[in-house]
Amino acid sequence: MSQEFELRVYYEDTDLAGIVYYANYLKFIERARSEWVRGLGVDQIRLKAQEGIVFAVRRVEADYLGPAKFDDLLRVVTQVEAVTPARLILWQEVLRGAQPLFVARVTIVALGRGGKPTRLPAEFRRKLA
């Protein structure tokens, strides 16, 4: 199961050299993950209000493969690598056309009320099956 998310590089995303500032790739993949979860039909606001559960990034392993530049049209591909009761591991790529510019393996966990780790919601795991 994968999803694609398109975005344009704006001037504010770049550094003095006109290339995307390295930390902004993390923002790009975060936006893509948020849209991916929304696309699954999961309302994160309702999940927090009713069950006290929020998703949090536990780990990111990233590689920068090439620079994106001002006005580039980028595509973020998000794919599920693994799902356990306690965590979700995603593979995300930022591409310009067919060229990968940034790749990351992201581990997501659920936090309950008080910020304590909890199991991923059963409804969410079912949607990933």
Q: Alpha-carbon torsion 3, 54, 44, 101, what sign?
A: negative
Report the catalytic residues: 15
The answer for residues whose C-beta is within 8 angstroms of residue 29's C-beta and 6 or more apart is 76, 78, 92, 94, 102, 104, 106
Contact (CB, 8 A) for 69 and 13: no
